[in-house]
Chain A
Amino acid sequence: MAQRDEPVDGHRTAIVAAWVVTFAIAAIAVVPLLRLATSFDSPGAMSLFEPYILGILRFTLMQATLSAVLSAALAIPVARALAKRQHFPGRELLLKLFAVPLGLPQLIAVLGIISVYGKEGLLNDLLAAAALPLLPAVFGLKGILLAHVFFNFPMAVRFLLARLETVPQENWRLAASLGFRPVDYFRHLEWPNMRLALPGVFSLIFMLCVTSFTIVLTLGGGPQATTLEVAIYQALRFDFDPALAARLAGLQIALCALLLLLLQRFSVSVATPPRLRISVMRPDGDDSHGRLFDALAILLGGLFVAMPIGAVLSDGLGADFGRLLGDQTLWRAAGWSTVIALTAALLATTAAATLAQAIARSDARRASVFRLAGNLVLLIPPLILAAGAFLIVHQNFDPQKSALFAVIIINAMMALPFALPVLEPAFRTSFETHERLAASLGMRGFSRFRLIEWPTLKPSFALAFLATVLISLGEFGVIAFFGSERLITLPLLLYQRIGSYRFNDAAGVALILLLLCLALSLLIERKMLFATRPPA
């Protein structure tokens, strides 16, 4: 224990690096916030605790809690089933599809959902053909939850599955030889491993839903469905009251920080050592009722994710690709999208790994500081980050020319919280497993990381990198602020086309964005995972 409180020599570098990252985050996130809050006089039109804000606060927390609980709860059986069924046709494709919603701009996801569940949607067409009663309108709380679960449930599945796949072969074999029943597998193997990742997954989803904007307003059905993020947007844009916007953001951050700290109490460690991910054979795959249940979970979960994505695809096919592909702007947008996403993801994954490595080597208190540092960026609205950064950049540099750097850095900051929930549990188990080995070999620092930890961490890195790439690909708030004729991304291009009525073009751009998401996830996971496979 004493060892963990006082970092031994080899850990010092890891801790110092994490502090550097923490301060860099604070500098990039909090300084603009303060700058914005203090640079302008507040018209004082609204106080923080008037009934309007309190009502919004209640709704924000309620819908975010429901969304996070639903997404995580639904992800458990699906992740479990996917972990158990390693070989069925289409499994790889399904996993790639599960990553896609992360990279979709919210408006496109909403339109995809409407194409499936809407008044003239796919399901109603089927119901009408079967002469069954039609679905009720998707607006209101149920619409918000539907969209939030569509966005977050597949991500939760991928994160939980990543945990389950690190459980070594021997444990399953041992369990089988002990005559485990399905419920024993769940209790002793699956649940403890998923539980390690759940608090991180839950808080990530919760924060994403707290800051949800387009989905909540569009599907909410009226101003009773408003999040704090909307109030912040209103304060900053329409009322131009940066001080109020900053105060509201502060309130949002404080509340969620409290929740994160509470959740950390549930974050427990398990001592299952991760091994090289060699194709896992699950001896518990044979019972017939389990097979039916798993098939159902995978089928329903898969359909739920695939249908709206399919709708976006089929909408896109109607676009005039001859004209669209001949347009230079499209290629520029696709190029910048890729460059920005890859660079931001590289920064984000590196920063997250630095934090995760230090968390594994820290006592609970210091770990929670690093964890907060890696998470809270998500709670500062992109508009505030962008406006604050603009204020600083503008007074020192030419904003037109520095836009690219600002976009990449802010994107990296916003992607970091997506890498942390994957890397943190991975680093923790890796640390606990390898500490003694490394010490006995006298290995330290980078060589220890490269030789001992990297091989088992590789899959987690691949997933973390993928998640950060996708989230940057779909980002719109920041690029909307800094974008220009020259600096344009696919989501920006898409919104621009819609802004000039060109919904068909926009659908085509969405299709291209979707294919880019799929291609990148294929490339990233192939490159990083299969390189470790021993030659057959």
Chain B
Amino acid sequence: MTRFLSLTALILWLMCLSAAAGTLTIYTYESFVTDWGPGPKIKSNFEKQCGCTVKFVAIQDGVAILNRLKLEGASTAADVVLGLDTNLVAEAKALKLFAPHGLDPAGHSAPGWTDDVFMPYDYGHFAFVYDSDSLKKPPESLAELVEGGAKEKIIIEDPRTSTPGLGLLLWMKVVFGDRASEAWKTLRPRILTVTPGWSEAYGLFTKGEAPMVLSYTTSPAYHMIEEKTDRYKAAKFSEGHYVQIEVAGMIQSSKNQKLARKFMDFMLQPGFQDVIPTSNWMWPAGKTSKPLPKAFDLLIKPEKSLMLDPETVARNRKAWTDEWLNATSQ
């Protein structure tokens, strides 16, 4: 065992001696770089312009990217970090690893966001997606969902472990404010189960366990385009929908500042944005060269985008999670 270990260490050390040069290293989440994700096309589009090599480092999800940065500190290999959402921005800034992007902070179409460090590249709204075969009259507001009784169950995600779960927590907070705790208590009998992540929730939903699941307004576009069915729809709520904005930032200590800035600029051009809608299943935050596929016209458009500023979220997340725990446990 020990001999094996020292041998392993030796091999690893030898491998490290061969370091790569002249490449832009981008930390992002896994589904971004998979074959059917936006990564491969964006990589080749950008490489054509810059004459450089793009190297994606895929990390599980936004939270894991942030944690990776915390583990690595200033010695991080990243030049650009792509895939944090706005709720993580306050913590990311506190690391003091990021440099201002130097672009026009308002030069994008994501709702309610201007920041000189983190630039949005796409956004989406949380929504309850329902199965129109089994649910004929979906709720028309969050209040209606809360008070609707236990007959039509919903599946939600856990705010302690997932981004959509945190999204719903904040959505409830914005709409109900101090009464959020009571609202959760009223909603409780309607909750079939609280899953650790989106995958489990959506899996149970498509198996028919419950007619409604917490997901995104864009989810039905996937089913329409890839599965040619309009069975799954998102319920439009009159209070508005909580928005999730995905952002990217440049690392201060990077030796590829110029290249990184070039990429940040490219991020809002059609070469990047064209790829987003049908591979990341989110709304583009910049110009596309052609109109979006027709399925996107059929999606609900929230009247109002709800969002809390990152500092407020960072400050209150723990207390609000506890409030949620108390209201929904037992």
Contacts and interface: CB of A to CB of B under 8 A. Distances in A.
- The answer to whether A and B come from one shared complex is yes
Given A218-B193, A223-B328, A501 B219 contact: yes
Interface in B161-193: 161, 188, 191-193
A236 B70 CA distance: 11
A214 to B, nearest CB: 6
Contacts of A119: 208-210
A184 interface: no
Which of B8, B160, B191, B223 has the most C-beta atoms of chain A within 10 angstroms of its own C-beta? B160
Interface in B1-43: 1-2, 4-5, 8, 11-13, 15-16, 19, 30-31, 33-37
A218 B193 CA distance: 6
A239 interface: yes
B36 A221 contact: no
A222 B12 contact: no
Interface of A is mostly: helix
A351 B158 CA distance: 38
A485 B71 CA distance: 21
A218 B196 contact: yes
Contacts of B91: 240
B203 A45 contact: no
Interface string B206-235: 111110000000010011001000000000
A251 interface: no
Interface in A259-318: none
A402 B13 CA distance: 9
B226 A501 contact: yes
Interface residues of A, number: 66
A241 to B, nearest CB: 10
B56 A485 contact: yes
Contacts of A502: 36, 226
Interface in A18-34: 20-21, 24
B281 interface: yes
A496 B200 contact: no
A222 B191 contact: yes
What interface size band does chain B fall in?
35 or more
A223 B329 contact: yes
A496 B30 contact: yes
Contacts of B34: 329, 496, 500
B195 interface: yes
B320 to A, nearest CB: 12
A237 B194 contact: no
B67 interface: yes
A473 to B, nearest CB: 19
Interface in A355-410: 387, 390-391, 393-398, 400-402, 405, 409
Nearest to B157: A217
Contact of B196 (A118, A213, A387, A397): A213
A230 interface: yes
A401 B12 contact: yes
A134 to B, nearest CB: 13
Interface of B is mostly: helix
A222 B33 contact: no
Contact of B200 (A139, A214, A405): A214
A103 interface: no
B275 interface: no
A395 B226 CA distance: 43
Contact of B330 (A139, A224, A238): A224
A114 B204 contact: yes
B58 A483 contact: yes
Contact of A481 (B11, B60, B161, B193): B60
Nearest to B35: A329
Contacts of B99: none
B198 interface: yes
B8 A218 contact: no
A484 B203 contact: no
B16 A480 contact: no
Interface in A495-525: 495-496, 498-503
A230 B161 contact: yes
A500 B196 contact: no
A5 interface: no
Contact of B12 (A137, A219, A402): A402
Given A240-B70, A498-B203, A502-B36, A402 B193 contact: no
Contacts of B207: 111, 114-115, 118, 120
B72 interface: yes
B18 to A, nearest CB: 9
B189 to A, nearest CB: 10
B199 A223 contact: no
A109 B185 CA distance: 31
A221 B193 contact: yes
Contacts of A495: 199
B329 A222 contact: yes
16 contacts: A21-B1, A110-B203, A139-B192, A218-B204, A219-B193, A222-B191, A223-B325, A223-B328, A239-B318, A483-B30, A496-B34, A498-B199, A499-B199, A500-B281, A501-B219, A501-B226
State the 8 A-B residue pairs at the shortest beta-carbon distance, nearest first. Answer: A120-B208, A217-B196, A24-B1, A234-B160, A498-B199, A224-B329, A499-B31, A397-B12
Interface of A: 20-21, 24, 40, 45, 52, 55, 107, 110-111, 114-115, 118-120, 137, 139, 213-214, 217-224, 230, 233-234, 236-240, 327, 329, 347, 351, 387, 390-391, 393-398, 400-402, 405, 409, 480-481, 483-485, 495-496, 498-503
Given A214-B200, A390-B71, A393-B12, 16 more contacts: A119-B209, A137-B192, A221-B193, A222-B191, A222-B328, A223-B328, A233-B161, A240-B67, A397-B16, A398-B16, A402-B12, A483-B30, A484-B57, A485-B58, A499-B30, A503-B206
